[in-house]
Structure 1
Amino acid sequence: MIHINQVSKKYNGADMFSVANLSLHVNEKEIFGLLGPNGAGKTTLISILCSLIKPTSGEFTINGLSYKKHKNQLKQLIGIVPQEYALYPTLTAFENLKYFGSMYGLKGPDLNQRINKALEHLGLLHFAHKKIQTFSGGMKRRVNLIASILHQPKVLFLDEPTVGVDVQSKNVIIKFLQELNQQGTTIIYTSHHLNEAESFCTRVAIIDHGKIITKGEPKTLINNHEGAHNLEDVFLNLTGKALRDHA
């Protein structure tokens, strides 16, 4: 589904590459985790794949489409769930979703049906006509997710989809994503919740300093690292325990 060939990105004025000659293939219907410390290059890579920023060099395709030749088609093919809430606080949940659905050319009864079905599935139908500014963090996360899947994308990019949410919301979100995946959606997921990634992802890649330092099935990575009991142990063994604060 996704083929990345030696992609690099160096921001203007930066001393180092945020992504450095990175190559990666993601299969159709995978749940693929991109894991790494702060500043490792995860968000930059996702931003490139979503055509939000241009790579300095290299190339990639999604579902056989090149970002250089098929940028508009790629945007219809993908969904993006950003870490920050991408919602209008003074609009209701339904109004927000109506707006985002219209951006993908959806309208009329079909759009309304998709919105109501997703809101019900994620336990939000009762709050459809309440303003977003009155919602809890977990509720906003769920609306954020719905906004990204109304057009039924083939590939869904998730940047910290469960950060700051209660346990119940997290459980509902993960279950919903697993159902989407079973229906054929390829998922690219980043998170600092390594226990969640261990059970959620079919494969993961650990990135540091813009490069992939290991990749594979979580259980295989754990078994291949002596003394590792979980994915967090593997992560710390490979990236170290030093703080990665950056500004």
Structure 2
Amino acid sequence: MATKYFGLEQAKTDFLTKFYQREYLDLFLENILLESRLNKREFCLAVVDLDHFKRINDRFGHVFGDEILKYFCSTLRLTLTNTRHTSFRYGGDEFVVVFQEKNSKEAYRLLRKFSYNLSRRPFLMHNRFYRVTSSSGIACFPNDATTPDELVKMADSAAYFSKRNGRNLTTMSRKIKYLRLRNNFLAVCCLLSILWSSYRLYRAMNIFIDPAFKKIRNVRVTLKPEYLDVLVLKNGAFLEGRILAETDDRIIFSIYLKSGEGNSVFHKSEIAQIKRRSR
């Protein structure tokens, strides 16, 4: 339920969302801060942002975008029906919700419930359902900040953190440092895991592939010559290549292979026939 005090008795609401206009936020926060200090009570401020709203506007047009905003705000209003809160339209797709007498954990649970309701209540337009998500950040008085500007700034930074880390998230301002450390730690662990896997793959290649390369280390890549000599061995093998040198009992033969060329020595007793190609 929205409260009608702290200077909002005559305040105007936004015609589209029915939330209070931004110009009344500063006066409201000054009054609620004063009341909270006097009664030693805490309250929380949340910045709630509609994800990918610019993309929605660019793709479907501003009329469609306005309907999305109405749906978004009606879902937020229904979620917070039985909660003391006050909502403001802070920007185009950005809203500020002030939770009276709520701590950060209670505000967090309410905003996660809102995100859940968005997912369970898809937006229907022209007989088609559209999934909408939100990113939000929370800052509380007096634990996180003690002035209106600081509260808004810290909650906005927390909402930005939610967007940067995947959207559809709610982040408490006080936990940003911890979350950054956790994310950095996970990134380092992921990098180490990749390096370890790469090292194991390298070792495997050395164990199984390197010996094969050693066997063909004398093979060199070459183009197939136009004229090749042919050795027909007594075992039936048929070899193409070039005779490099010949003695009374041996022949040094450069064998042509599809992958290159390699040298080998044959005893003439192994050879059934030599076919010499004319150049």
Query: TM-score surpassing 0.5?
Result: no
TM-score by length of 1: 0.26
Of structures 1 and 2, the larger Rg is shown by 2
Instruction: Compare the two structures and name the one with the higher helix fraction.
Output: 2
By relative contact order (CA 8 Å, sep 6+), the higher-ranking structure is 1
TM-score by length of 2: 0.24
